[in-house]
Amino acid sequence: MNERVRLGLGQRLFVALQYALPQHLLSGLVFHLTRLRLGPLSRLAIRIFIKAFRVDMREASAQDPRAYPSFNAFFTRALRAGVRPLDPRPEAVLSPVDGIVSQLGIISGGRVLQAKGRDFSVAELLGGDVRLAADFDGGAFATLYLSPRDYHRIHMPLDGRLRETILVPGRLFSVNPTTAAAVPRLFARNERLVCLFDTELGPAALVLVGAIFVGSIETVWSGLVTPPRARALARTRANAGMPVLQRGTEMGRFNMGSTVILLLPRDRVRWDPAIAPGAAVRCGSALGLWRSRHARAVHPAPKSQ
């Protein structure tokens, strides 16, 4: 069970280089460069990126690459209405992003599986708050990786009222599968924004994890959160008048790609057994079905037409 993935020489060098790089300096540089309106240069960079990563622009609200004044405007592009329909079942826990399932399962002994042979503690992920971590003891987690080609806005997996955010300082390692297999406690080491919600299931957390060249996170309620770099842990209680964010609505975005970790309380959700690590998911599709505190029928998935 403790066997770890063996990496090739090139992969080990890739990981070792990240320890030496000035991660925040490079991410800050990319942050500014991607916002420059460079006319033909910006359009050229966008076209090269679309071709290199096979981005499907037919899904974008603005399909012409020339419509984007900067690379970041393209990277955080909106989608056309209707291209990410929400699972119609009210008890469906929706995927908050387009991405790849890195891991999902049950939180065991207060720890979350990162990769084969590696895990990390929920308390550390949540900024060291042991009492808060207890809300998720024995609960469910899903770790979703956004590749460069993916849609980079983050949506609500279920209805929720924001309770608190915790900005946790840290490193900015890459979060791709190679680094996840090699760097201990990766997601509990990187800079991250913990968003805590009160939901019908109980407490829920969406953890937005930064990464190298991706050290920029926004939310719909406070705008740009990082940069600047988080120097110390910062907790912010939500305004008492904060409305409920409906399932499927946008709650934030990455300016470049990264990882989202969803935490849910014990005995409240059953993950779809067809979804396993490595599976591609779409924003708004069902990751699983939740159960209310009262006995509630679970309906089968609708058949495709």
Q: Work out whether the CA dihedral 200, 280, 82, 297 comes out positive or negative.
A: negative
The CA distance from 177 to 183, in Å, is 10
For residue 139, the number of C-alpha atoms closer than 13 Å in the C-beta half-sphere is 22
- In this prediction, residues 179-205 reach a mean pLDDT of 91
pLDDT-above-90 percentage for the chain: 66
Average per-residue pLDDT for the chain: 88
- In this prediction, residues 4-9 reach a mean pLDDT of 70
pLDDT given at position 31: 86
**Per-residue pLDDT at 305 exceeds 50:** no
CB 79 within 8 A of CB 61: yes
Give backbone dihedrals phi and psi of 58, rounded to 5 degrees, phi first. -65, -20
pLDDT given at position 251: 96
Give how far Cα 52 sits from Cα of 45, 57, 121, 227, Å. Answer: 10, 13, 36, 27
- In this prediction, residues 154-183 reach a mean pLDDT of 90
**Per-residue pLDDT at 3 exceeds 80:** no
pLDDT given at position 269: 95
**Per-residue pLDDT at 74 exceeds 50:** yes
- In this prediction, residues 132-137 reach a mean pLDDT of 95
pTM to 2 decimals?
Answer: 0.89
Three-class SS string for the chain? Answer: CCCCCCCCHHHHHHHHHHHHCCHHHHHHHHHHHCCCCCCHHHHHHHHHHHHHHCCCHHHECCCCHHHCCCHHHHHCCCECCCCCCCCCCCCEEECCCCEEEEEEEECECCEEEEECCEEEEHHHHCCCCHHHHHCCCCCEEEEEECCCCCCCEEECCCCEEEEEEEEECCECCCCCHHHHHHCCCHHHHECEEEEEEEECCEEEEEEEECCCCCCCEEECCCEEEECCCCCCCEEEECCCCCCEECCCCEEEEECCCCEEEEEECCCCEEECCCCCCCCEECCCCEEEEECCCCCCCCCCCCCCC
Q: Which amino acid is at 27?
A: S
Confidence of residue 152 (pLDDT cuts 50, 70, 90): very high
The CA distance from 53 to 44, in Å, is 14
pLDDT given at position 5: 60
**Known active-site residue 98:** yes
**Per-residue pLDDT at 10 exceeds 70:** yes
Catalytic one of 87, 98, 129, 159: 98
CB 205 within 8 A of CB 237: no
**Per-residue pLDDT at 297 exceeds 70:** no
What's the start-to-end Cα distance of the chain, in Å?
Answer: 42
Catalytic one of 42, 95, 174, 258: 258
Of 171-175, 220-224, 272-276, least confident by mean pLDDT is: 171-175
**Known active-site residue 129:** no
Residue bearing the bigger pLDDT, 35 or 5: 35
**Known active-site residue 258:** yes
The CA distance from 303 to 301, in Å, is 6
Task: Determine how β-strand 192-199 pairs with β-strand 202-209.
Answer: antiparallel
Q: Which of 231, 234, 229 is nearest to 215 (CA)?
A: 229
Is residue 228 reached through a cis peptide bond, with omega within 30 degrees of 0 on the bond before it?
yes
Of 39-53, 276-290, 291-305, least confident by mean pLDDT is: 291-305
Catalytic one of 155, 159, 174, 216: 155
**Per-residue pLDDT at 242 exceeds 60:** yes
**Per-residue pLDDT at 301 exceeds 60:** no
Of 43-47, 184-188, 205-209, least confident by mean pLDDT is: 184-188
**Per-residue pLDDT at 61 exceeds 90:** yes
Task: Determine how β-strand 202-209 pairs with β-strand 269-271.
Answer: unpaired
**Per-residue pLDDT at 296 exceeds 70:** no
Confidence of residue 241 (pLDDT cuts 50, 70, 90): confident
The CA distance from 58 to 250, in Å, is 20
Of 108-112, 241-245, 274-278, 299-303, least confident by mean pLDDT is: 299-303
